[in-house]
Amino acid sequence: MASSFLHPRYESLSRSEIEALQSERLRETLGQCMKSPFYRNRFRNAGISPQDIRTPDDLVKIPFTTKQDLRDNYPFGLCTVGLDKVVRLHSSSGTTGTPTVILHTQRDLDQWADAVARCLYMVGLRPGDIFQNTSGYGMFTGGLGFQYGAERLGLLTVPAAAGNTKRQIKFIMDFGTTAIHAIPSYAGRLYEVMEEMGIDPRRDTRLKTLVIGAEPHSEEQRRRIESMLGVKAYNSFGMSEMCGPGVAFECTEQNGMHIWEDYYIVEIVDPVTLEPVPEGEVGELVLTTINREAMPLLRYRTRDLTRILPGECPCGRHHRRLDRMKGRSDDMMILKGVNIFPIQIETVLMQFPELGNEYLITLTNKDANDTMTVEVELKEFHDDYPGMQSLTREITRQLKDEILITPEVRLVPKGTIPKTDGKAVRVKDLRKTLI
């Protein structure tokens, strides 16, 4: 199996070697962190010094870092190098208030590209392969992250970016694309449109590999995508705070995502007590970067719920495997790969004096397309049909501006939004495995 290791030096480390490397890199990272005003204050306030932390087991002494910390110190408060050493900035969409910013030195970008290249190599991609990336580019890390990683590996990389499905298919046909990165629902969409165009992906394309992620999906969904497109589909995990794609990736066993423990120290904690959960149990993923220069993060709460898969992977790597993400410890929804919080929708709705306080967000995925329906109670009913129509249009427009997705807005009579225990249910996720 060694032939599938792009970085045998790191990929073939034993557990004890991984832990030794982590201790060494953690100590370097702590030294680096002390160059940022944020972590200097944090350590001082907690009454700890970097010397107190020698191994990953000592991490529990350090307070968690949260997304709110990144917002409060926007944009450069966590930076540990001079800005003249920073060559790239990525930002979250800022959908819930102040955006968050992640900074990279050239070394950070190189390390990131190496991680993505390692992932793609692991699933069998080699120079000669043609890799089409359907991620949004720009500030979103799924675009440039895969671009640089695939180029690092030597793949012919097509930055097709998001949308324009017919053009994507034309590229697949014309260039002989062998591998695609797409969110699962978009992979389903590609198949649908190919079918409409009379294209059988198994017969008419060279596709063999699909990289999926950024959107919850089940094993059944994966299998259906694989059989429709005639590919092997590999799940991936990444988040902009941890660089972006390339944090954890499935090997050809397709059973859990190896998290690169030469880059990250993994903890799984109970999201309420914040205590570590027993090995193999589901909790919130907490990550410490140990291979980053410009903006290392210690014990970052990802809000993603998952578990460490017990046992050894037959592929021979000892980097532990994360199970599929089980959901979120906050109320974030992921729709068409876009992160959305109910509070964003609430904020828009509450600006309309015509509307009551109750609303219900329903997520469905008819025809493999994620759809959001927002039902909201009308405060007073005036039997003014044209007025209701234009109100509906205006709410839809403003919601689209906020969440970047066009929801179906429906005004409903007062008192009709279902409640449980007097508390309104805000989100109903009825998305099923349809693909």
The site for another protein (CB under 8 A) is made up of 378, 380-383, 385-386, 388-389, 392, 410-416
CB of residue 392 to another protein, shortest distance in Å: 7
Residue of 363, 432, 409, 404 whose CA lies nearest to 92: 404
Residue 85, SS3 per DSSP: helix
Centre a 10 Å sphere on the Cβ of residue 100 and count the other Cβ atoms it contains. Answer: 22
Please say which residue, 8 or 413, places its beta carbon nearer to another protein.
Answer: 413
In the bound state with another protein, the residue whose beta carbon lies nearer, of 164 and 389, is: 389
Shortest distance in whole angstroms from residue 149 CB to another protein: 46
β-strands 244-250, 232-239 pairing: antiparallel
Nearer to another protein, 176 or 387 (CB): 387
Longest Cα–Cα distance of the chain, Å, equals 72
Rg (Cα) of the chain, in Å, rounded?
Answer: 23
Nearer to another protein by C-beta: 167 or 410? 410
Between CA 326 and CA 40 the distance in angstroms is 34
Q: How far is the CB of 399 from another protein (least distance, A)?
A: 16
Contact between residue 347 and residue 414 where contact means Cβ atoms under 8 Å apart: no
Residue 305 CB, nearest approach to another protein (Å): 34
- Beta carbon of residue 372, minimum distance to another protein (angstroms, whole number): 16
CB closer to another protein, 55 vs 396:
396
Three-state DSSP at 56 gives helix
Beta bridge partners of 288: 265
CA distance linking residue 329 with residue 310, whole number of Å: 22
- Residue with Cβ nearer another protein (183 or 361): 361
The residue among 16 and 385 lying less far from another protein, judged by its C-beta, is 385
Give min distance, CB of 215 to another protein, in A: 29
Burial 261-279 (b: 16+ CB within 10 A, else e): bbbbbbbbbebeebeebee
| CA distances in angstroms from 423 to 256, 330, 334, listed in the order given | 37, 17, 23
Give the integer Cα–Cα distance in Å for 401 and 171: 30
Report, in Å, the least distance between residue 379 CB and another protein: 9
